[in-house]
Structures are given as C-alpha cells and as structure tokens.
Structure 1
C-alpha cells in the first residue's frame, strides 16, 4: 500500500479540479462502488456554479486537470481581494483529515462548551474506530441532541457528512430540526406529514425521495413502513442518527429491520437512548451489533471493553458532569407527594372496588371475561386517575358485554349488575368537586398560574379521558382563556403535537398549562419556561416516572425543578396502602436518579409494561415492594447487564473528565484559520467581490447588505441561488421571519444566544430573527462556491508578499479509497534563482495560517500593480509540484503507516471473529451476522490510503519596488 502511483496527478481526489461535459468541477469526494468510481463534485463554471453532481467514471469522461500544468495569472483586484477569497474558500472547502483528534467546529456553534459533551464527540470520532459509530446512552437531560449536533458538525467539516438521515419519534421532529439549525447551522428537511405531502407534490411517485434531499429528519413510524424499504435499500448515507434507539433491540420488529438496513448502508451511525438496555444481554447485544457486528462474540457474549469503546454513559451526578453543569442545571427539589383525602362519594367508589372487584369474598370477582385478575386493577387504576377515566372504562366494558365475548350469560348478567352499581356510585363523584382535581387547581394557583402570570406547569396523566376532563375544566377554574390550557396526546397529528410543544416553550405564547399523556415523556424539552411538573396520576412504572420528570429536570434548567404527585387517599385501608406504595415509587425514582441516573435497573424489567405487572402484584398483595424494587447498592453489585453498566460507566468507577490536550483549547482548534479573522469579514469581502455595490437593493444589482457592528448583526436579501439552499427549512419559519426576503445574521456567539433566547421570550415562534453565522452556515458555503469560480481553468493567482524570491504555496493531501482526506500538508517551494527553475527549497508548515504568515499573507495587503512576467512564473509551477510530491512521500509515510496499522488491527479483529464463528457455523442465526462482518471487512479495506494530490494554490513574488516582477 503506497501513495507513490505513477499517475498520481491523474488520480481523482478531494480538492482536485476535473472537467466533465466541458464544465469544471471541484471534487468533494469519491466512492468505489460495484458500478465503478463515483465522483461527487461541486460546479465551478458559471453554468454549474451552484450545482452539486455525481458522475460515474464508466459513463462520463472525468478528466482531472494536471496541477503541474497550471498557468499563473495576475490578480489585479484591490488588496488582492479576489486571490484572498479564492484561497480562503479553498481552505474552507478542504476537509479536515478524518483522523484529526482536535475538534474544529463542534464548539463554535451556539451550544455551551461542556467538556463532558465534547468528550463524547471525541470518542465518536476516535480514529482508532475507523468508522464513527457510537451509542449515546447518557441519562435523561444531559443533552444528547447537542452531542448529536456536535458530532454531525465535525463529520461535515471532515467531508463525511454530505448525506445525513435522522430518525426520531414523531413529536420531536421539529425540536431536532430546530436544534441542528439554530445551534449548528445544519439545515435539514423535516419529513413530517406536511413535509411528505410537499415531497409528493414535487416528485414523481417513482422518484426515490432520499435522493432528492441530502439531509432529512423523519419519524421511525413513517420510515419503517414497507413503502420506503425499497428506496432505503438503494440509498447510501454518510451518517444515520436513530434517536430513542432502545426501541430497536427486538430483532423481530419492523424497527429492528429498519435499523439493520440503515446500519448496512451508512458509514457513521449514532444511536441515542437514555435507557439503552432492557436487562437482557441478547437485546443489548443487538444494539451493539448495529454499531459493529464484530463487537459481540459469535456466541452472543458481550465484551466489556467493546461496550466501553462504543458506548457513552453518564448521568447528572457523574463527576464528569457534576463539575461542569453548575447553575445551568439546578438541583431537583425533594419529591412533593400530596395525599388528598377522598370525598365521601369517592370513598364509596373505593369501598365498592375493594369489596366487589379487588378483594371479593367467596363469590369471587364479577368479571366474566378472560384475565379476571387484570380487569379489576384496570378499574382501580382508572379510579385513581379520575372519575372521568373510570366512567369511560365502565362504559367501554358494558358496551362489550355479550357482543365481543362468548361466555356464561348468568355471569355476564352478574358483571353487568356490578358495573352498573359502580357506575351509579361514580356518577355522584362527577356531580360534585373531585378532591384531587380541587387540590390540583389549588396547587396550580400556588405555582402562580393565573391571568397576567408567566408561570407554567406541565400536568401528566395516563388516561386520555382524564386529559380531556382536565382540559375542559381547568381554564374556567383557573380564570384563564381556553387556549391557555393545551392538551397533547398520541392521537394528535405529528404537526399538531410539534406546534403544542413549541408553544409551551414560548414566553409570549398564551399557553400556561400543558396537560399531556406519556407521548410527551420521551425526548421533549419542556424546561425552557417551566420548572413545575405534576403527576396527576402516578404511573405504575419507575421508567415512566423518570421519563416524565426528565422533561423539566435537564441541563439548561435555571430553577430547581419541583415534581409534585397528587395521590387520592381513600379511607379504605387497603386502598390507602396502595396509595402509599405508589408514593414510594416516586421516592425510589428520586433516589435512583441521584445515585445511579438509571431507575430501570431497580426493578430489572426494563420496560413499562413489565414494571406495571410487577407493581400490580405488589398492590394485590402477591409480592412485597422491597422484593420487586432492588436497593441501589444491590444493582451495582449484581451480575446482570445493569451491574455491567454500573461497573463500566457509573460514578464509583468513572474516570475524571479528560483535559484537552496541551495544544488544544477547550473549544477545539480553529482548523479553518486562514486569511480572515472572522466569518463575517470573509462574507463581506465575498459580497464586495460578487456585486458591484452589495449595499444596493436587489433591483439595482445588489443584495441590500447592511452591517451593524455595535448591534452584532448583518443583513442581506438572499439571491435566488442562496434561497435555494434555505428552502428545506420550515415553511412557517421562512414565512414568519421572511428569511428568503431578508436574511438577518448574528455575528457573535453572544448575540446569537441572545436572539435565540429572545425568540422564546418575545415572539410566538422559537426560530430566532437573527440566525448565528457559524462556520458551517449555508451562506458561507454559498460565498465559497462563488469565490472558487473566480479562476479560469487550471489557473493560479500571482501576488506579492514578504518573500525573497518567487515562492509557490502548495497543499498536499493524502486520501483513502473512499475519497476521504487522511492527512494534509502545507508547503512552500522557493526559487532563489528564477533563471534556474531546477533549484528550489521546500519548506513544510504546521498549518495554513503558519504558511500564510511565512508569505506575509496573514493580513490584507495593498496591490500596487498586477504581477508581471507571468510566463516565466508559470514555468516554476511544474517543478514546484514535482518537488513537493517527492517531499510529501516522506511526510505522508507516518500518516500512511498509522492508517495502515489501524486497518490491519481492525482486519485482524474481524478475522478472529470469523475464526470463532467457524466453530459455531451450524447456527443459522450466524449467517446474517457473518454477512455483516464481511461487509465490514470491505469497508475497512476502503479506509486504506491510496492516493496523493499536490495542488499549487498561490504564486508569491517579492514585494519590492522596481523588482523584476
């Protein structure tokens, strides 16, 4: 394996310029496929300047321009603006090497620079893993979405994030889209019901929608349907993100089928889940196999070192987290359990349930259907939720009696009589104030909810009829308009769910109370304007309690979150005991939250239904609570998957947070450092170059450019080719903020954060009026594409600088078979005696900034007159390129050896897995796993470096008056 190919300059590599169909294109990446080499390019010529394309070398003639034959041309622009822009754009378009350990853009967005999040990003990008694959298993509230955004931003900057698919639950589609755009300037199209409808209007039914949109967010419920499977099989991705990935563990489900398909067709895979395992090693192994099929032994055994390599797991009180979150995550208050004495009518219902249904005498339960032990507890659960929920449950059972079931008519008549008697008692509770409801109203008022108050509370309940009952009655009893109380449940359309969540985050929105079911218990951020949560009924599941609490108890919560549980307390002794058991669940969740950051391991069932079954047995007197819910200490000392997690990731064994390297500040290296001090200066220069007068309105050939340095904003009217890049963003955002008419950008992080916060504080939508101009912003990419078109075919600018003799600035890149940049080198070739072009001195530089500084190009320079004698200077290009190629063979050897060693180590590990599998080859389930491992081997081999490219970027002559040049 070597980069010394005889036709090295003819090789296709990122950064090279090619001619296809008589147009010039910049190569972004290459890919080897069964149908030949695919070259992904960006147009440079006037006709294709804003066009991305892919060409198969078997179908089109893709002719690389030989860098050694480049022609030198003079830059006559003021202060060398044209050359500066072209060179800066080239630097920005050159991918950061895939093995670079420093962060380049992850901490330059609007996410707070938290060391524990950055350590997760570094782990995902660790070059030892060859492919970025990771399970983000941080506990609820630590900011997994931000970690996802940071990882994706780094992948984009490394040339590994052109095509990205994000799969999430329906109700967080907009939240994910919002976070990635507002904090990292990554635009994604949101394929919710409205987005899919727009796609159907634009595309023919036979067109694969995933070839039309390069970056998309879609719900797992939509994507797993059969109609998309064929399209997904044909589509390769640079990165796939699957949120709430614990739903993938069951190998027999459509979710798992989808995940396996996506895992095979993507290079980077990011899974995220606060509950990453269900206690069964085989299910957790299924998740690990998605990331790396060889990371689980052929017999299914989990290897702790592999889990540690592929999984990130911290919680609120992990040392790495606790030492950095500070006041940005206020500590949760003690659980506030409120026992509410039942009314006389409610006590009568409780007594009837106890004596007739839950603990009947010799006659047994009147229930005439199957599972006679379950339905009485369904009634009890409904009663503890609300009279409305009990009414619905009774009426539902009565409507089914004698219709859907075959049974003893006598028993059915007895059950009907018992249900009607219970319904009559419950009717009285509906005709007078409910004790728990009355207490809820008082509690909401005590929290400050009312006219003229900004206070907000989220109220959770399990039963839909309870939600509807609260939604109908609360506005009047709180003295609020109807729209101040919003209801959210799984039966609402995805866009309606997203609208409600976004409104609850807006300070100016009228909503004050969000009444929601458990559809909002996963993934939704409700802490921005709220720190009060009420369990109107208590789930019989620690997992569900933790999920609910995590909506307000998360990073960014400035006020100590308070969780209140309302518990109806009947005089019936048995029912009173049940209430106290439920109250203990809330306390147990709080204890596990503080000590483990993981409540699921206490009961060991790892799913809501399994926990509910256990709690039902406790309530029925079949089991003791202490036998069902393990102590925290016992979890860490066990021998199950939970214990493995405790030993690998939890506080007792956790290592201190890694400090940044000596040469790297906490925010990461500025790997894009070039000729401009900041992004806005670069953008302003690009507009000056592209338009005669950028401050003029579009009607007079400008873009209406305005810069307010004091206010920290700039404005422009986007031209059509820029508008096209923004159209994937939400139509409501584009319309409300008039983005396509007048784009306002914040030029500092402080200003960007202030406008983002102000959107929630002052406006009706959370999308800011001034979007932060971060390094990956589409407007900067647009400016770079325009600047790169400034040079003609295979030309190099000649400029003056602080050199003693003509000097060529060169960029060398080493790439692998997947077209990814493995290493870069900045060189200058000096010709002390121009009459003898064979005499030259090669100097390597540690960065683009260092090379530019050596040339006197680290600041803007005056351009007195265009450089002369261009023909003589052009003769220096070829020897400079050839000498640089020879010089780089030695420089790149170390990078080549390092990459080769990683590939060899990885291949050896795959071969060991194969050898182990041979022993178990009779097992049919190994066939699919072996196929995945073979695919892994092919991918690993494609990571081997195989080509070198040297490009001349600038010809610099001495800046002396009266000189030859």
Structure 2
C-alpha cells in the first residue's frame, strides 16, 4: 500500500474527514505511537457507515479532504431535518476541549447530583494536571463507584475514553458493570470466568483479547497472572481504573507489578480505596508514584501539597458530605453489643484455653512451634467464633504435629481441649442460640421480607451457620445463602445480586470478609450482625460499610455477639473486643477514619496490636488512642485524617440548580432533548420508523405519559450491546425490543423496580437514555453519513446576508482537542466573496441562536444559487483561520505554560535523583519519569483545523417554527 506523506500525517486532526481505501472516514482521534501516527476513524460512506477502524499512516494512504474545498449542497428535507441531524451529530462527535472545567455529561446520568462527588470529578479533570490521575480515597459508603462513572463519562465526552480497563475484586465485577451501564449508559464487557470462556470461543488463541474489547472489566486476580502480562504490555489505554488499590502498594507483589505496567500504558489512572494508607510512608508513596512518578522524590519523601493534588478523601460527617446526603443516608443506630453468657461446656473450654494455652503457669505453653505466642490466640479466636471453628483448628494442628517429645506433649493438650470442645458440639451453642433469637426478634422468618447479613471470620463457622439456620428459623434451605472466598466469581456475583432482590427467597446471608470490600447490601438490608468480632478496626468499618452507606433509607444497626465466659480473665478479653466496636462507632462519627486510632493502617498490623493487648503486653488505651488525641495530633496518622477535611470548593446544594452551575450542555441545542434527536434520526433513516422491521421500520413507539420509548434494534445497533451480560440481554430481550426511560425520574423508578422484579434480575426492564447511550451514538453515526464527501448544507436562517458557520479546533500530538471556537463568517456583499465579517461565539448554542437555528424551521424548498454560495466557503475558512491564530495562540500559550511547568517538575526530580541513581529502584523510577516527559511533550498543541458546518442565507419568508 502507499504510505501517507509525512506533511499530511502531521496535519491530521480529530474532526477532519479523510479518504482511506476509497472510503470516507471521520477522524475520531490521532495517536503518535512508536510505530508511527495512528488514526482512529468512524466510517461515513455507505459501505463502512457502521464501522470503526484504525489506520497507520505509514501503511495506508490517508487523504484529508480540504475543508476550504467543501461542496455546498441544498437541504431539501422537511424542516431541514437532514441538516439539523448532521449538524447536531457533528457537534456531539466533537470532543469537549481538555481545558473545559465545567462538567458536560457527568450530571446527566441516573446518579444523584451530589456536590462532593462533582468536586472529585473536577479535581480529576483539572487542566493544571496534564493527565487525569487521582486516588479516590473517600471513606466507606460515599459512592466511589459513582465518582468513577462520572469521571469516565467526562473522559469519553472529551475524547479521552475510547479504550478503558476496569480492574476490581471478583465479587464486585457485575456490580461495577451494572453501575456503569444503568447509571451512565457505558457498556463494558465483563471478563469473569464465563466471559473469558466466551472470548476463547470467539477469538483465536493467538488473538489479544484487549484489542477486541475496547472497554472491559476484569478481576485483579485474573489479570495479574503471567498469562495476560504479555498482552497488556502491547496495549495502550485511555483510562485505567483499579478498585481497592490499597492492595497495590507492596512492590514485591504481582498486584504491584500489574499496577506499574498499567500505569505506564495509560493516560488517565483512577485508583480507589477507602483504606489507602497502611502506615508506612514508602507504601503510600508507591500509590502516589503510580499516579505521578515525579510527585514523589527519589528518597520517598511525601509532600502534603502533592498528596492534596492527587488524592481526594471525605467521610460521612465531612461538612461538604453531611450537608447534602440528608435522608438518603440514614444515621446509624447505637452499637448493639450483646454479651452472651457461656454454657457450662463452653466455660470449661474457656478455662482450659486460659490455663493451658493463654496464661499457663511456670511450665509455659505446650505449643512446640516457633510461633508459640501466636497459636494459643489462634485457638482463642477460633473458640470465640464457634465450636465448629475450634474443632477445625485443633484437627488441623494435630494433623501437622511431629512425633518428638514436645509434639507429644502438645498432642495431649490438644486432645484434652478437643474432648472438652466435643461436648459443646453436642449442645446448643449460647451464641448461636442468641443469634437465632435475635434474627427472630428482627422479624426474619417465613413470609417476612426482613433481611440480615451475618459476618464471621472462619469458614467452618460460616458452613455451620449455613447448615443450621434454615431449620431453626423455620425457613427453606434457599432462604439462607453462604458466600465465601472459595466460590467462583460467577457464584459470588449471583449471591450478591440475589441478596439485593426483593423477590429472591434469600433472607439471611452468612459471609466472610470476602464481602467486606466493595459489595453493596443496603438496597434490601439494614441489619448487620458480627457473629465474631474482627481484631481490627479497619475490618469492622469495612463490614459495617456494606449497609451503612449513601442510599440507605433506614437507620442501619450493627449487632455484635460476644461470648462471655465466667472466667474473669477471659471475660476481660471479651470486653476488650467490645471496646473495639464502640471505638469504631465513635471514630466513624467524629473522624470518619477509624484506622487513625491505631495508626497501623493495616488489618494484620491492627490484629497484632490487639493480640498484644489480650496477651497483657500492651494497654488498650496505648494501642487504640482516644479520638480527641488523634484529631489534635501531628503525626502521620493525624496528617492523613486531617489532610482532606476541608472542602475543595464552596459547598452547594445537591439539587438541580447546583448541578447546572458547573455543567455545560452535552449536545448542540438543536433539539429539545435526546429523545427528539433520536426520533428525528429514525425518521431520517427509515421511511416509517413505527413500522415493524419486516416492513422496513424499527417498531418505534413513544409514550410521553410513561416516559418511555421502544424500538427493535437493527443488527448494527444490537451489535453495540453484545458486551452486556448475556442473561440481561436474554431475559429483558434487549436485542429484540429495546425499552428506554426518557426521564431521570422514570429511569430511577425502573432501576428501583428491578430490585422488586419477579424475574429476580437487578438489570432494569427500561434503561435510561443517558447522553452517552449507544443508541444515540448509533444515531449520530447514521446521521453523519447523510452527506457526500466533503459537503456542507445550504439552509435558510435569521441572517442579513449569506453566512457560513464554522468550527475551529486546536489539537495536540495525541489528537486531543485543546481548544474549540465557534465562528460565523458573514458576506454582506455576495458579489465580493473575499470580504467576510468574522464573528466569534462563546458556544455552539450562541452561534446557532445568532443564525436563528436554535429551534426548528420550516423548509420551503432547496436554497437557490448554490454556485454563488460555493464561492463563499474557501474565503470563510481562510478568514476564520486568520482570526483563530490569535485566539488559539492564547490557548496554546496556556497549554505551553503547563507543559513547561511540568517539564520543570521532571527536571527537578531528575536533579534530586542524580545522587541516588545507583539504586536499582531509582533507575526504574527514572524510566517512568522519562516516559512521563515524552507524554508531557505530546500534550503541546501542534495543529489547527477549521471546518465549515453550514451555509445560511437570509430567510425572506420567516420560516421559523
């Protein structure tokens, strides 16, 4: 094939129309890669109309169609429908400039317009940061997944979100996919075990799955394996999201290897974690370094200003949160700690544990291993969980013992303990009896909708509860579900989804700490029971956050069951654990950050500290500091607590006026709403869209009273939806009959109704028509194919003389729109086409208003004298280019200033690293910083494009609607 000349390759810009392989394409984005310039295009010609493609300019001849040579054609469609659709679609396909601070689409989904979430989005998109990079560290329950969806929506609208990868824990794969689709209309393929199997069936074994799917959700456990690393190295992403990112900070793990690889190969990076700090500055520095390698000096020093720039953290009682969540987040009830007197058999076990294992006499513990101080507390923890858990622990230890003298001594002690525990297994457990009665008191039972989630740490305890509860509560077996880490991701997702379903039979979910991160249980549940108490404030907070979160309408209550042996020493241990529950509640209300009380910021570290308190080597008040002391402190823990308390901007009310204050229109304003635009597009594409497909229509139905529309998706539209869950597509018959909600109120109502649906499917039967919905994108692609090569429409409007509407864009080497300008070129003397009056406009809406095109007009017939109008196009383009030189020069200087500042940051990092360059890890970091330098230079604007969009002549008959 013939290559593209270098001078042409360097001039390509998004929005230009090019000819490749004898077909016409709209340039969506350009990218300068190691292999040359790559252009991403959308087909405009009849054959390639529904095709997206990418071409390397050194392999294909890419011929830009010169805007100044555009051909003028008259629009003869009723009410100028063809021109209106083409113009609206062109504007929708033109990326919002990078420097635009206002939100365009983030507030137009189904998520509530909460001001604190919007501030996080604006911080992520701050043009002072050349790349969108942020750690969403909001406390549990504030809606980080919604913030992620809002940020991704804005990136898509800005032309920075074509290829997106989401990495999450297994149990929240479907939940994240559901949130992004139902609230933001962003379709992602879910690569869980079933999804990966479908990919293997569809693609050759040698095909890289990440080149086939442009937007994917996958678990970190799957992705970090060596199987995918080679594929990932070859991929560049517009945006990568890594949820629960506190699991990335250890540089020796596969998680960290994956994170570093993805961070290097993506422009936007969003990390999310409610517990991002483990107390070690080098670990937190690693998370910050993933976001911006130059933000952390080579010696791992953390600068508060850099952390503030890259991290956002609020909690339930932060001022900007508390004033807007209102009744949509009910305040939690006081902790309900139930002390349960032990049975005589359980007391006997407790005495044996205390006297032989926990606090033996002068002979010491009979435990024979190196960690003699740990195993006794493992036994104690198992005992406090359940007799079944203690039996499992004893049996496991016995199976591993050797046959020397010390081992035999320990074997005797374990067998004695096992015999005592055997008696507890043959009798009702005190704590279990209390659990059953408590569940009944809550109303859990046959015919009742009441639900509860029961957490326990030990798998054997969970299995025992799962076996026993249905019979003792008078419930069928499927009313009690068990979720643990050994289940497949499909099974975990099914259980989570069923627990949210009102019509599902499940009433009690017993689960372990696999469900303590990311999973939402609040839609149908406000009762949580700690069957055993974690020895970690962080873990307690994570569990509680499953029901104590935004969207919880009923005051959540957390109940802890604490076995209370008669032994004074053991009872004291139980009271220490009860104190943990009280401290978590106090810190939740005052600080919003329980980890700061212990300052370990790590679950295992907290467990070690509590074990030391139970063993008597430390005091509780020394390990768990008073809340007031933390709030007033000046150490690392206090810094992390206080750093993000201040609102990032003046607080506003969360209702519609506040949302509008920081928003811009996502469309051009040629249509009253997205539904009208879609309906016009269908009427343009099909002779009678209301006819069934067999007669050439799509069965279009619009019901304004109910706020819904319906259509049968044509094949090319159905293909855009195939990445969604197969069960959803099949049960809701989406590809046979697509039902869309046209108002936010209707969309929210159908989304809530899905949780009460007899189909037991949380995916709604009517999906909200959000601005980025694939059906609107499909309609735009069809409308853009209405014109022939390099043509513009001639129409009538409210102008005094023939006027050309133009759009100018300034782009950088990465093909991103840096600045955009709307212009009109008026020709007061048609006989002198070289003289044009250029008028700038602040937005598309302003320009359309000036032309009288902000509402529909009747079309009395094709505009005459096309030859005369044709002579106006070239002068209009050339005069606009001259005018924009000064406008774009200012925009270019602003970007250049930021690029220079960023370059100086990188130079400063280099200077500081020079002394430490012999350290291998510093050499690796320098490589990342050098890559950052290349990316920074690519952000500098380097090309300008002016496109004529419309030629408007005076309307002498006043044909406005």
Q: Same fold (TM over 0.5)?
A: yes
**Cα displacement (A) at 1:644:** 2.0
Partner in structure 2 of residue 307 of structure 1: 307
Contact 1:107 1:667 in 2 (8 A): no
CA root-mean-square deviation? 1.8
2:617 is the counterpart of 1:629: no
Query: Which range moved further: 447-456 or 786-795?
Result: 447-456
1:477-556 matched pairs, under 5 angstroms: 477-556=472-551
Residue 736 of structure 1, aligned match among 719, 731, 740 = 731
Q: TM-score, normalised by structure 1?
A: 0.97
**Cα displacement (A) at 1:962:** 12
2:900 is the counterpart of 1:900: no
**Whole-angstrom CA distance in 1 between matches of 2:888 and 2:938:** 18
Contact 1:459 1:533 in 2 (8 A): yes
Partner in structure 2 of residue 226 of structure 1: 226
Q: Does the residue aligned with 1:946 lie in a helix, a strand or coil?
A: strand
Contact 2:825 2:838 in 1 (8 A): yes
Q: Deviations over 1:323-354 (max 9, x none)?
A: 11111111111111000011111111111211
Q: Does the residue aligned with 1:761 lie in a helix, a strand or coil?
A: coil
2:877 is the counterpart of 1:888: no
**Whole-angstrom CA distance in 1 between matches of 2:648 and 2:214:** 39
**Cα displacement (A) at 1:300:** 1.4
**Whole-angstrom CA distance in 1 between matches of 2:612 and 2:445:** 41
**Cα displacement (A) at 1:618:** 1.1
**Whole-angstrom CA distance in 2 between matches of 1:217 and 1:682:** 31
**Whole-angstrom CA distance in 1 between matches of 2:659 and 2:740:** 28
Are the structure 2 counterparts of residues 226 and 605 from structure 1 closer, same or farther at C-alpha, using a change threshold of 3 Å?
Answer: same
Q: Does the residue aligned with 2:862 lie in a helix, a strand or coil?
A: coil
**Cα displacement (A) at 1:867:** 1.1
**Cα displacement (A) at 1:320:** 0.9
Contact 1:298 1:916 in 2 (8 A): yes
Partner in structure 2 of residue 296 of structure 1: 296
Query: Which range moved further: 630-639 or 749-758?
Result: 630-639
**Whole-angstrom CA distance in 1 between matches of 2:638 and 2:622:** 18
Q: TM-score, normalised by structure 2?
A: 0.97
Contact 1:113 1:667 in 2 (8 A): no
**Cα displacement (A) at 1:656:** 5.1
Residue 602 of structure 1, aligned match among 566, 591, 597 = 597
Q: Does the residue aligned with 1:257 lie in a helix, a strand or coil?
A: helix
Contact 1:385 1:463 in 2 (8 A): yes
Query: Which range moved further: 828-837 or 483-492?
Result: 828-837
**Whole-angstrom CA distance in 2 between matches of 1:361 and 1:913:** 59
Partner in structure 1 of residue 334 of structure 2: 334
**Cα displacement (A) at 1:866:** 0.9
**Whole-angstrom CA distance in 2 between matches of 1:599 and 1:662:** 35
**Whole-angstrom CA distance in 2 between matches of 1:853 and 1:961:** 18
Partner in structure 1 of residue 772 of structure 2: 776
Partner in structure 1 of residue 3 of structure 2: none
Partner in structure 1 of residue 325 of structure 2: 325
**Whole-angstrom CA distance in 2 between matches of 1:194 and 1:641:** 44
2:916 is the counterpart of 1:914: no
Q: Deviations over 1:605-626 (max 9, x none)?
A: 2222221111111111111111
Partner in structure 2 of residue 870 of structure 1: 866
Contact 2:317 2:589 in 1 (8 A): yes
1:377-776 matched pairs, under 5 angstroms: 377-402=377-402, 408=404, 410-650=405-645, 657=651, 665-666=660-661, 668-763=663-758, 764-776=760-772
Partner in structure 2 of residue 799 of structure 1: 795
Are the structure 2 counterparts of residues 125 and 595 from structure 1 closer, same or farther at C-alpha, using a change threshold of 3 Å?
Answer: same
2:925 is the counterpart of 1:942: no
**Cα displacement (A) at 1:654:** 7.8
**Whole-angstrom CA distance in 1 between matches of 2:746 and 2:527:** 29
**Whole-angstrom CA distance in 1 between matches of 2:8 and 2:711:** 43
Q: Does the residue aligned with 1:582 lie in a helix, a strand or coil?
A: helix
**Cα displacement (A) at 1:840:** 1.7
2:207 is the counterpart of 1:207: yes
Contact 1:813 1:822 in 2 (8 A): yes
**Cα displacement (A) at 1:685:** 0.4
Partner in structure 2 of residue 104 of structure 1: 104
Contact 2:115 2:659 in 1 (8 A): no
Moved over 4 A (4+): 6-10, 653-656, 658-664
**Cα displacement (A) at 1:655:** 7.0
**Whole-angstrom CA distance in 1 between matches of 2:786 and 2:648:** 54
Partner in structure 2 of residue 251 of structure 1: 251
Partner in structure 1 of residue 850 of structure 2: 854
**Whole-angstrom CA distance in 1 between matches of 2:56 and 2:133:** 28
Q: Does the residue aligned with 1:89 lie in a helix, a strand or coil?
A: helix
**Whole-angstrom CA distance in 2 between matches of 1:354 and 1:666:** 64
**Cα displacement (A) at 1:370:** 3.1
Contact 1:10 1:65 in 2 (8 A): no
Partner in structure 2 of residue 23 of structure 1: 23
Contact 1:91 1:674 in 2 (8 A): no
Q: Deviations over 1:435-473 (max 9, x none)?
A: 111110111111111111111100000000100110011
**Whole-angstrom CA distance in 2 between matches of 1:715 and 1:517:** 43
Contact 2:499 2:506 in 1 (8 A): yes
- Count of matched residue pairs: 952
Are the structure 2 counterparts of residues 666 and 564 from structure 1 closer, same or farther at C-alpha, using a change threshold of 3 Å?
Answer: farther
**Cα displacement (A) at 1:400:** 2.2
Are the structure 2 counterparts of residues 617 and 962 from structure 1 closer, same or farther at C-alpha, using a change threshold of 3 Å?
Answer: closer
Contact 2:119 2:649 in 1 (8 A): no
Are the structure 2 counterparts of residues 8 and 846 from structure 1 closer, same or farther at C-alpha, using a change threshold of 3 Å?
Answer: farther
**Whole-angstrom CA distance in 2 between matches of 1:784 and 1:328:** 37
2:155 is the counterpart of 1:155: yes
Q: Deviations over 1:666-718 (max 9, x none)?
A: 46121423200100000000000101111111111111111000000000010
**Whole-angstrom CA distance in 2 between matches of 1:281 and 1:768:** 45
Query: Which range moved further: 173-182 or 448-457?
Result: 448-457
Question: What runs of 5+ residues in structure 1 fail to find an aligned partner?
Answer: 1-5
**Whole-angstrom CA distance in 2 between matches of 1:9 and 1:841:** 32
Q: Deviations over 1:397-424 (max 9, x none)?
A: 222223xxxx52x333332222222222
2:937 is the counterpart of 1:953: no
Query: Which range moved further: 732-741 or 903-912?
Result: 903-912
Q: Does the residue aligned with 1:425 lie in a helix, a strand or coil?
A: helix
Are the structure 2 counterparts of residues 962 and 606 from structure 1 closer, same or farther at C-alpha, using a change threshold of 3 Å?
Answer: closer
Q: Deviations over 1:859-911 (max 9, x none)?
A: 11111111122122111111111111111112222211111111111111111
**Cα displacement (A) at 1:286:** 0.6
**Cα displacement (A) at 1:311:** 0.4
**Cα displacement (A) at 1:364:** 2.6
Contact 1:9 1:950 in 2 (8 A): no
**Cα displacement (A) at 1:378:** 1.3
Query: Which range moved further: 908-917 or 653-662?
Result: 653-662
Contact 1:102 1:664 in 2 (8 A): no
**Whole-angstrom CA distance in 1 between matches of 2:633 and 2:916:** 29
Contact 1:280 1:641 in 2 (8 A): no
2:850 is the counterpart of 1:828: no
2:840 is the counterpart of 1:844: yes
**Cα displacement (A) at 1:156:** 0.2
Partner in structure 2 of residue 276 of structure 1: 276
Contact 2:9 2:37 in 1 (8 A): no
**Whole-angstrom CA distance in 2 between matches of 1:7 and 1:918:** 39
Partner in structure 1 of residue 63 of structure 2: 63
Q: Does the residue aligned with 2:643 lie in a helix, a strand or coil?
A: helix
Q: Does the residue aligned with 1:487 lie in a helix, a strand or coil?
A: strand
**Whole-angstrom CA distance in 1 between matches of 2:593 and 2:958:** 76
**Whole-angstrom CA distance in 1 between matches of 2:659 and 2:564:** 59
